[in-house]
Amino acid sequence: MKTQVAIVGGGPGGTASAMFLRELGIQSVIIEKETFPRYRIGESMTGECGAIVRELGLEDRMLKDKHPIKRGLTVYGAGAKNSWFVPVMARTEDGKLVEEFTWQVRRSKFDQMLLEEAIARGAELVQGQATEVLTNGNGGVRGVRVRMADGGMQDIKAEVVLDCSGMATFLANHGVTGPKYRGNYDRQIAIFSQVVGAIRDEGPHRDDTLILYRRKNHWSWFIPLDEEVVSVGVVVPAAYFAEKKESKRDFLVRELHDLNPELKRRIPEVKLVEEVRSVVNYSYQVRQFAGPGFICIGDAHRFVDPVFSFGLYVTMKEAQFAAQAVKDYLEGGNRDQPNPFAQHIKLVEDGYDAVEDVVDAFWEHPLAFAAFTHVRYRDEVIDMLSGRVYGMDEPPRVLKAMRKLLKRDRSMDDGISRPLGSSYTPAA
């Protein structure tokens, strides 16, 4: 089988890639190993993620499907002694901040909708698991070998492979990219489920995201998924979870009452309506994640920490950037360069560095961060948490202030992200 672009993974990264490629007249095949609908964590969108969904022409569908409307994010400090709110706002063309909303999504439903939409727009779906990378002998990627649902093998030859396999990091695991490094939050565990009967605010902020803080790297999320159900998750150092010697379920139920009084008030009785699941070691970064014939998208090359819900946005935005980079490549652009996607890498890394610095500043300097959101840099914090982190000529003042607090210098010019000041170590 031959196509212009083979996409490994039919999650939001893969389907957004297929749709953006299609808009540019490029044919793609999506290879997906699971049968949809399938469960995924990652349910709260940033403001700019909503903007991408709108750019894909899916706003009416989102409203019809009744995904809860998110207008902002409230963080409750330790002991619920204080709290701060950051609204979802858009920037107009003349630079004004205006009210906007985004969505919370039950991923099984949202991801299936995206996959159906990508197929309806012309992408082909191959149900199977990519197991090997096909190369052209000079290290260039030319496709993938797939174990089909019926057990047979099929080669899919392509001019470009987009790795949208999420945390499975398909190309990194096959040694195509540079090394994979552990991130700052790799010794964390997230344990999560869904509850009914939770108390929500009345009015327009009923379906907002709540973040509840206990101490550094110990927190919880509260994300409404429909009229009845709220997604809840507790994120802690893995060592803390191990010390407790509890089942995941017992741990979650107890933490939902111990972690923060505001969480206990909102969930007076814990009635779980979903399996209790977990994710560990989710923080990493892959070097040289794009090269001749391949680009890794979103989680397939980097993930920091879920606290401010950047994952879906980053993955869908990178899909949009990658579609343009692929178009240029197919038309012969930068083929004489050692890395034809060097500019794409720089654009994406600069944006992700900003995300990482915002997240690190929150964990390392929570009081300063809260002060920034209230007074000093309110508008810029709104921009950052919405996801306006790409293509900035100059870092905004708030990002400079955060980097100063972190004693971190990002002023490199070779396009390689250097997480100075963080605890990155090469993977064993």
Ligand X SMILES: Cc1cc2nc3c(=O)[nH]c(=O)nc-3n(C[C@H](O)[C@H](O)[C@H](O)COP(=O)(O)OP(=O)(O)OC[C@H]3O[C@@H](n4cnc5c(N)ncnc54)[C@H](O)[C@@H]3O)c2cc1C
Cα–Cα distance between 65 and 104 in angstroms, integer?
A: 11
Task: Give the residue among 222, 247, 194, 277 at the shortest CA–CA distance from 76.
Answer: 222
Q: Give min distance, CB of 394 to ligand X, in A.
A: 27
For residue 23, what are its two tokens?
Answer: 């808009």
CB 225 within 8 A of CB 194: yes
Q: Give min distance, CB of 266 to ligand X, in A.
A: 17
Q: Which of residues 215-234 bind ligand X (CB under 6 A)?
A: 233
Q: Does 50 bind ligand X (CB under 6 A)?
A: no
CB 100 within 8 A of CB 89: yes
One-letter amino acid of 291: G
Choose which of 3, 19, 26, 44 interacts with ligand X (CB under 6 A): 44
Which CB atom, from 130 or from 347, has the smaller least distance to ligand X?
130
Q: Give min distance, CB of 77 to ligand X, in A.
A: 20
Q: Does 419 bind ligand X (CB under 6 A)?
A: no
Helix then strand then coil, in percent of the chain rounded to 5, is: 35, 30, 35
One-letter amino acid of 95: G
Q: Give min distance, CB of 335 to ligand X, in A.
A: 27
For residue 219, the Cα-to-chain-centroid distance in whole angstroms is 18
Helix (H, G, I), strand (E, B) or coil at 89: strand
Residue found by looking up tokens 């012969």 in the block = 332
Q: Which of residues 185-214 bind ligand X (CB under 6 A)?
A: 190
Choose which of 5, 11, 156, 383 interacts with ligand X (CB under 6 A): 11
Q: Which of residues 274-293 bind ligand X (CB under 6 A)?
A: 279, 282
Other CB atoms within a 10 A radius of the CB of residue 294 amount to: 24
Choose which of 6, 7, 18, 31 interacts with ligand X (CB under 6 A): 31
Strand 302-303 to strand 284-286: parallel, antiparallel, or no bridges (unpaired)? antiparallel
Stretch that binds ligand X, among 27-35, 73-81, 244-252, 373-381 (CB under 6 A): 27-35
Which CB atom, from 109 or from 400, has the smaller least distance to ligand X?
109
Q: Does 32 bind ligand X (CB under 6 A)?
A: yes
| Alpha helices per DSSP H over 245-341 | 248-258, 261-266, 311-330
Q: Does 238 bind ligand X (CB under 6 A)?
A: no
Helix (H, G, I), strand (E, B) or coil at 307: helix
Which CB atom, from 129 or from 373, has the smaller least distance to ligand X?
129
Q: Does 166 bind ligand X (CB under 6 A)?
A: yes
Choose which of 52, 259, 263, 312 interacts with ligand X (CB under 6 A): 312
One-letter amino acid of 32: E
Q: Does 21 bind ligand X (CB under 6 A)?
A: no
Stretch that binds ligand X, among 38-46, 244-252, 285-293, 382-390 (CB under 6 A): 38-46
CB 231 within 8 A of CB 225: yes
Stretch that binds ligand X, among 10-18, 132-140, 337-345, 398-406 (CB under 6 A): 10-18
Q: Give min distance, CB of 184 to ligand X, in A.
A: 14
Q: Does 78 bind ligand X (CB under 6 A)?
A: no
Q: Does 41 bind ligand X (CB under 6 A)?
A: yes
Q: Does 309 bind ligand X (CB under 6 A)?
A: yes
CB 283 within 8 A of CB 303: yes
Q: Which of residues 113-142 bind ligand X (CB under 6 A)?
A: 129-130
- The DSSP code sequence of 194-236 is EEES----SGGGTT-EEEEEEETTEEEEEEE-SSSEEEEEEEE
Q: Does 402 bind ligand X (CB under 6 A)?
A: no
Cα–Cα distance between 120 and 113 in angstroms, integer?
A: 10
User: Residues in the site for ligand X, rule: CB under 6 A?
Assistant: 8-14, 31-34, 40-45, 129-130, 164-166, 168, 170, 190, 233, 279, 282, 298-299, 306, 309, 311-313, 315
